[in-house]
Copies of this chain bind each other. A is one copy, B any other.
Amino acid sequence: MRPGRDVPTLVARAREGDARSVARLISLVENGSPELPRVAAALAPYAGHAQVVGLTGAPGVGKSTTTNELVRALRADGHRVGVLAVDPSSPFTGGSILGDRIRMQEHTMDPGVYIRSMSSRGQLGGLAAATPQAVRVLEGAGCDVVLVETVGVGQAEVEIASLADTTLVLLAPGMGDAIQAVKAGILEIADVFVVNKADRPGADATYRDIQGMLALGERGPDEWRPLVVRAVAVRNEGIDDIAAAIGKHRSWMAGNGEARRRRERRAAVEVEAIALGTLRARLGSVREGTALDALAARVADGELDPYAAAEELIKGL
């Protein structure tokens, strides 16, 4: 791409629904292109209308299947849908991204659906910066629901929750998730629980466990009480209930100003991540020079402790 010149054209075409332009814009995001500030500026006026739905859960719980069926249900309701399958894992340990792509193939001919796997390799600020920017691209292309699917590893699920309007947490029976969920603070991030594989033994117990824990939790009259939905995604059972729960949460958010609050919170997280990425890049350019090397040598000699060295480094910014 010729620097600078084509960004407005790409954005204009993405606005018209050109899938290739959408894909190229997301690639710019993924690769941390120097064009990103221009992309962001061009997309700014179209931001903030879509409902961002985060979908997370442990590996094997059925996230891709659920996403796939959910896309179908949302399309049937007339929504334009974007899907970001976010992969925080390295190729070393694999990941099911290829599987996801294949499974979602059936939607590729539907012009009302954009599906994209994304890693955050080149992005300063990692997924926390890349995901909302990719969401902006999909919003710009007219999606009014953006599903962000992420594998529940590391702190990814909590991170995604801070980037979503509505967070779906998938559980499956027999994975001991209910108690783990409490420990991990998942109860606090979930707006909708989906007990998937609800035809398996133990599904009722999982369902009851979650309801029980939700009953114990204290919340004010204006707070959202998470919904719990049963599903068997591979048989397309319960998918309409999930879509309905997402819709209920949207209406609730719109009615009490929560949508606006979450959008602002999301913007704050995004701005902070970009700022941190910028600072990291500046530290990196300090690194190219000799300042950090000289400090590191003194730390290696035991002359200076690393905190004192870091303080010196920051002074040099």
Residues of A within 8 A of B (CB): 36-37, 40-41, 43-48, 58-59, 88-94, 132-133, 152-155, 157-158, 177, 180-181, 183-184, 186, 260, 263-268, 270-272, 274-276, 278-280, 283, 287, 292-293, 295-297, 299-311, 313-314
Contact = CB atoms under 8 A, between A and B. Distances in A.
Contact of A272 (B91, B158, B275, B287): B287
A276 B279 contact: yes
20 contacts: A37-B308, A47-B302, A59-B93, A89-B153, A90-B153, A92-B181, A92-B186, A93-B152, A264-B300, A265-B296, A267-B300, A267-B309, A268-B295, A270-B299, A270-B306, A271-B306, A271-B310, A272-B310, A275-B310, A276-B280
A260 to B, nearest CB: 7
A44 B304 contact: yes
Contact of A279 (B47, B133, B180, B279): B279
B305 A44 contact: yes
Nearest to A297: B264
Nearest to A303: B44
Secondary structure call for the A interface: helix
The interface centre, meaning the residue of A40, A266, A311 with most chain B CB atoms within 10 A of its CB, is: A40
B283 A268 contact: no
A267 B309 CA distance: 10
B306 A133 contact: yes
A265 B88 CA distance: 26
A287 to B, nearest CB: 7
Contact of A296 (B41, B58, B158, B264): B264
A181 B297 CA distance: 32
A132 B37 CA distance: 35
A48 B301 contact: yes
A3 to B, nearest CB: 16
Nearest to A92: B184
- In the A-B complex, list the 5 residue pairs whose CB atoms are closest, starting with the nearest: A92-B184, A268-B296, A37-B307, A274-B310, A267-B299
